[in-house]
Chain A
Amino acid sequence: MSSPTRFKKTSLIALAVAMVLIIVGIVVNLLPIPDNSMWRVLFGVSTLNFTLRATIPLALGAMAGILCERTGIINIGIEGMMLAGAFAGFVAKVATNDWPLMASLLVGVAAALVAGAAMGYIHALFSIKFKMDQIISGTFLILLAGGLTSYLFNPDSVAEGKFSPIAIPLLSKIPVIGDIFFNNPPITYAAFIIVIALHIGLFHTKWGLRSRAAGEHPRAADTVGINVNFYRYLNTTLGGMVAGLAGGFLVLEAVGQFQEGMTAGRGFISLAAMIFGNWMPFGALGAATLFGYTQGVQNALLLAGVVNIPRHFISMLPYLVTIIAVAGFVGRVRPPAAEGKVYETEGSSE
């Protein structure tokens, strides 16, 4: 666990991709390029805004994955946690429609967090106490969330209002960068704070050291007195909360309403972002940006009315890029060593 493992190559590649995107975006938007040029379509402010909006749930989902997997719990159920968060946020928002907007939205966020945490706790309980295969437990969460939200969803209910952008003084006045980064609704800012906090937490605190020890070498961690399963329960539940927030973002900040199956594979793409980013918060953020960009470009191309490529093929972009990224990089990344393995203290096994 020496410091070079902190930024391994693939996470740097993912970060570099994000950086290139931002720099090209700035250059394109500052040069007098005509509006109908392909450069404008691919790198215009609106495309980059789309990109950011698509990136946030992916980045949050990836952070949820990192939280769980760093302690050794595989989490393919992010999709289900997100959907549960989205639905809970929606229900709470609808129930408080006549409250002041901000209070009602915050209740929605709280509900999304609680629902996500509950899903995370169930995942931990099944994986640790009942020794369910963790991949199957994740599948269960996806199916449960899909079924329950469809069953309980009342299509007549309408959430009134969503989070509006808050411009950060001074910073939002910077050309291009200000438009993209510093004039956003609150969950977007929160997502960036979570990425930074997770990086600091994982690599510079006692909690992070213990969490990683539980995921890399639980026996050794146990020997020095770390309660492995406590950290696994804690981080999986926290991960669920973060995934729930991603769902809350979709309902309370991006779309404003709930739709059945609205996560549309975002949970899985964030899983790919986590792998591509090598289980590093910033690496995963970079990868999430790349995937988010494919969605941004998809939207931009559709809006620009590019009709010679059928829209179905344009919509395949994010999924194709995910496969390519996972196929191209998975051999070069290293998951936490004890991932997916049940940990039993000596003598506690049946």
Chain B
Amino acid sequence: MGHFSLRRLFRSLLIPVLAVLTALVVGAIIMWLAGDNPIAAYKGLFQGAFGSARGWATTIRKWSPLLLTGLSVAVAFQAGLFNIGASGQFMMGTIFSVWVGINFADMPAIIHVPLAISAGILGGLLWGSIPGILKVTTGAHEVITTIMLNYIAALFAGWTVYAGGSQGQKPGPLWDPAAKAISQTPPVVESARIPFIFGPPYRVHWGIALAIITIFVMAWLIYKTTIGFELRTVGQNFKASKYAGIRVGWTIILAMMLAGALAGMAGAIETLGVNFKFAPEFGGSVGFDGITVALLGQTNPFGVGLAAFFLASLAAGGAKMQFDSGVSSDIIQVINALLLAFVAAPAIIRYIYRIRKSPEEKETTPKISWGGG
């Protein structure tokens, strides 16, 4: 990590900050071209995210899943792997944790909550291990396998809560008969719910503390342990790490299991702290947003924390933006995509602002192998 210098900190923040500004400006141009009022939109967005105590609460509530899926993608990037599968792993984490959460009603909360979160972590870990194992044993690229596994996870999750059909189709095992024709699980029992820090209407729960602790754990794991060293070595130089005696195959599987565990944890925390049940439409774009978060945070756990906070504020302000200015909150997905482009290709930012590349600056975007490479 080297010694601390203000100049280096400035340089490492310059590109992400300019990327954020540029994405917001280009987003504004798109809104203007589409006949919307970007100023009103951004005003609503900002007020929605930070204009009130409830806004802050929403931002913080949306922070933890983005932070954890961001860490999931980032840890895979560290090992040179591209985990587009965070949304599937999130889904499996959700299903595993909701299963524990709707059962064992007699269990004390002190055991039930950790057990349900662990189940979610396990679900994500197992789902994440599949592309890792496939890559090591068959060479199948994780980009394709993780995306296919996303669809399979979504269908599987949909089946578990399926309400059944009129022609004798059996309902899924987690379906709540009390919900009748609606496909969803029964509510998570009281003892499995993550306690609130601030109760309703703020609904900020302790899951965010867990997510912040995870940042430190991941930073320690990546930068201070042998496993982390091996992970980064495999990511930086696949061939050399083989000659150095690192068990490359095992390291790749481990990285994918870690990535899956983090995304699964995100799913568990959302289920046990926010939704208290599962229905097929839950999940959304959180897996893909994890990619933007990981790249904006330059795959560093602390950077990921900051980046996730920014994306969480966009997500939190979206509803108020749409309500106040009439601009569809789908524009946030566009801004996220632009952000991804600008952080992944610092050359674009350097080109726009005519910034020279300093000689000591190293490439911050990860290198991903494809095919045999």
Contacts and interface: CB of A to CB of B under 8 A. Distances in A.
Interface of A: 74, 76, 126, 129-137, 139-140, 142-144, 146-148, 150-152, 264-265, 268, 271-272, 275, 305, 307, 310-313, 315-316, 319-320, 322-323, 326-328, 330-331, 334-335, 339-340, 350
Given A135-B368, A307-B165, A335-B370, A147 B138 contact: no
Given A126-B341, A350-B357, A334 B331 contact: no
Contacts of B372: 334-335
5 contacts: A133-B367, A139-B291, A147-B332, A272-B148, A339-B371
Interface stretch (B8-16, B190-198, B343-351): B343-351
Interface of B: 30, 34, 82, 84, 134, 138-141, 143-145, 147-149, 151-152, 155-156, 158-159, 162, 165, 167-170, 172, 288, 291-292, 295, 328, 330-338, 340-341, 344-345, 347-348, 351, 357, 365-373
Contact of B331 (A132, A142, A151, A350): A151
Given A133-B365, A136-B365, A311 B169 contact: yes
B144 A310 contact: no
A315 B340 contact: no
Contact of A310 (B145, B162, B167): B162
Contact of B344 (A76, A137, A264, A330): A137
Chain B CB count within 10 A is highest, among A143, A313, A322, for A143
Contacts, number: 161
Nearest to B365: A133
Contacts of B295: 136
B337 A143 contact: yes
A142 B143 CA distance: 13
Q: Which of A130, A272, A320, A328 has the largest count of B CB atoms less than 10 A from its CB?
A: A130
Given A307-B168, A330-B138, A330-B140, A139 B367 contact: no
A130 B342 CA distance: 10
A147 B155 contact: no
Given A148-B334, A307-B165, A335-B372, A327 B82 contact: no
Contacts of A272: 144, 148
Contacts of B134: 323, 327
Contact of A136 (B148, B162, B328, B340): B340
Given A130-B345, A143-B337, A322 B144 contact: yes
Contacts of A340: 369-371, 373
Nearest to A334: B372
B92 to A, nearest CB: 14
A257 B260 CA distance: 36
Contact of B337 (A144, A315, A316, A327): A144
Nearest to B158: A312
A134 to B, nearest CB: 8
Given A132-B344, A323-B140, A327-B134, A147 B331 contact: yes
Main secondary structure of the interface of A (DSSP, over half): helix
A140 B334 contact: no
Contacts of B144: 268, 271-272, 275, 322-323, 326
B345 A126 contact: yes
Contacts of B338: 144
A118 B24 CA distance: 22
A260 to B, nearest CB: 9
A322 B148 contact: yes
B317 to A, nearest CB: 16
Contacts of B345: 126, 130-132, 136-137
Contacts of A152: 34
Contacts of A320: 148, 152
B159 A312 contact: yes
Contacts of B351: 130
B333 A136 contact: no
Contact of B140 (A139, A268, A311, A326): A326
A282 B115 CA distance: 52
Contacts of A312: 155-156, 158-159, 162
Contact of A319 (B152, B168, B371): B152
Nearest to B368: A135
A326 B330 contact: no
B341 A135 contact: no
Given A319-B152, A340-B370, A150 B159 contact: no
Contacts of A148: 30, 334
Nearest to A76: B143
B290 to A, nearest CB: 11
Contacts of B34: 151-152
Closest 7 CB pairs of A and B: A147-B333, A335-B371, A312-B159, A132-B345, A143-B337, A147-B334, A151-B330
Contacts of B155: 312-313, 315-316, 319
Contacts of B331: 147, 151
A130 B347 CA distance: 5
B350 to A, nearest CB: 9
A147 B337 CA distance: 8
Given A144-B334, A310-B170, A350-B357, A135 B370 contact: yes
A140 B370 contact: no
A151 B84 CA distance: 23
Given A135-B368, A316-B155, A327 B140 contact: yes
Nearest to B357: A350
Select the residue from B155, B357, B369 with max chain A CB neighbours within 10 A: B155
A129 to B, nearest CB: 8
B336 A143 contact: yes
Contacts of A126: 341, 345, 348
Given A130-B347, A133-B344, 4 more contacts: A140-B337, A144-B337, A147-B336, A264-B151
A180 B356 CA distance: 60
A143 B365 CA distance: 18
Contacts of B336: 143, 147
B43 to A, nearest CB: 18
Nearest to A338: B373
B159 A310 contact: yes
Nearest to B133: A327
B219 to A, nearest CB: 23
Nearest to B332: A147
In this complex, which of B139, B345, B366 has the most chain A Cβ atoms within 10 angstroms of its Cβ? B345
Among B145, B162, B334, B372, max chain A CB count under 10 A is at B334
Nearest to A322: B148
A140 B333 CA distance: 11
A307 B169 contact: yes
A315 B154 CA distance: 11
